[in-house]
Amino acid sequence: MQSSGYKLVRLANGVHSVHSLAHRETFHPVIGPVAEAEALYVKQLRLVERIRGHPGEFVIWDVGLGAAANALTVLRATRGLECAVRLVSFDNTVEPLVFALRNAESLAYFSDYLPYVRHLVPHGRVSFDNGTRPVEWKFVRADFPSLLSGPDAAFLPKPNVVLFDPFSPANNPAMWSLPLFANLFRVLDPLRPCALPTYSRSTMLRVTLLLAGFYVGVGHATGEKEETTIAANTPALIDEPLDREWLRRVHRSTSAEPLHEPVYRQARLTPGTWEQLRQHPQFR
C-alpha cells in the first residue's frame, strides 16, 4: 500500500515495515522494526535494569520518531516498572506515523498503544499509565539541528538515554554533522549519565562523536550489522570502548573526517582533527 510518499513493504522474514519514497530508505530494513529496536536500544542499554533502579523520572529522547516503532518497543519493554517515564520524540514531520497508523494491523507493533498514538498525532502529547506508573509522551515537531542550536534547547528535559535513528548520512547529512553532536553533548546534564546508541558503525560517525565530547564504543549487533555504535557522556556506560588499535586504523581511513557542514562527503582526517582525536581522554 502506498500513500503520502510512503509505502508498506514486506521484509524477507515476513515482517512489514515502512519505506520512504523520497529518501529511498526502508525503516529497520532487515529484521524489522521491533526486533531491531529491542537489540539496539532495549537490550544494549540494559533499559529495564536502568529504569527499574532509577530514582525519580527517567527521560528518553527518541530522535527520529518516524513510524514510532522505537518508541513503542521501548514503552512495551518497560511496562509495569516502578518509575515514571518521560518520552520526548523529535521529527520534522508526522507523515510516516500517520501512514503507519493507517497500516497499524499489518505493522503489528501498535497493539494496545494504538489509542495513545492516535491522540499523540493531532495533540502533540499524551499521558497514560504504562502498567503501574505514568508515561508522559511529547512529540516535538522541529528541525532537530536548528532546535539544538537555538535558545529553546536549554528548556528541553535532560535525557538519560537518546535513541538516535535518523535517515542515513548520505540522505540526511545535517543529522550526522559535528555541529549537531556538539550541540547535543552541550545540552546533556554532565551529572546525569546518558547513553546514545545508533545503527551506524562508520568511522566518520565515531570520530564525530568523540570530537563532540562523547566516549564511544562498539555497539551490539543487529540483524543488519555485525556491530553498531554506542556513545555516552561517561565511560561507565561503554562496555567495549574504542581503543588505540582503532585509533591507528582511523589514521589510515579515507572516510574519517567529520561533516562540518550539512553536505555529505568522504575525506581523510585533517592534521588538526587527528591531533584533537589523539588528545581525547578515552585514548590517553
pLDDT given at position 225: 67
Cα–Cα distance for residue pair 125/184, rounded to 1 Å: 23
**Residue 215 — φ and ψ, nearest 5°?**
-90, 145
Name 10's Cβ contacts closer than 8 Å, sequence gap at least 6. Answer: 16
Nearest residue to 219 via CA among 208, 210, 207, 206? 206
Q: How confident is the model over 239-252, as a mean pLDDT?
A: 95
Lowest mean pLDDT: which of 3-7, 123-127, 232-236?
A: 3-7
Confidence of residue 284 (pLDDT cuts 50, 70, 90): confident
What DSSP character marks residue 213?
T
Q: How confident is the model over 64-81, as a mean pLDDT?
A: 96
Cα–Cα distance for residue pair 95/59, rounded to 1 Å: 25
Confidence of residue 38 (pLDDT cuts 50, 70, 90): very high
Q: What CATH number belongs to 29-283?
A: 3.40.50.150
Q: Please, are residues 168 and 202 in contact by the beta-carbon 8 Å criterion?
A: no
The pLDDT tens digits for 171-208 are: 999 999 999 999 999 999 999 999 999 999 999 999 99
- Nine-digit cell string for 21: 519514497
Average pLDDT across the chain, whole number: 94
Q: Where are the domains of the chain?
A: 29-283
Confidence of residue 220 (pLDDT cuts 50, 70, 90): confident
- Nine-digit cell string for 109: 507493533
Say yes or no to pLDDT of 53 above 90: no
| Percent of the chain whose predicted confidence (pLDDT) is above 70 | 98
How many angstroms separate the Cα of 227 from the Cα of each of 141, 162, 251?
A: 31, 18, 20
Q: Which DSSP helix (H) or strand (E) runs through 87?
A: strand 85-91
Name 223's Cβ contacts closer than 8 Å, sequence gap at least 6. Answer: 30, 31, 35, 36, 39
pLDDT given at position 223: 67
pLDDT given at position 2: 47
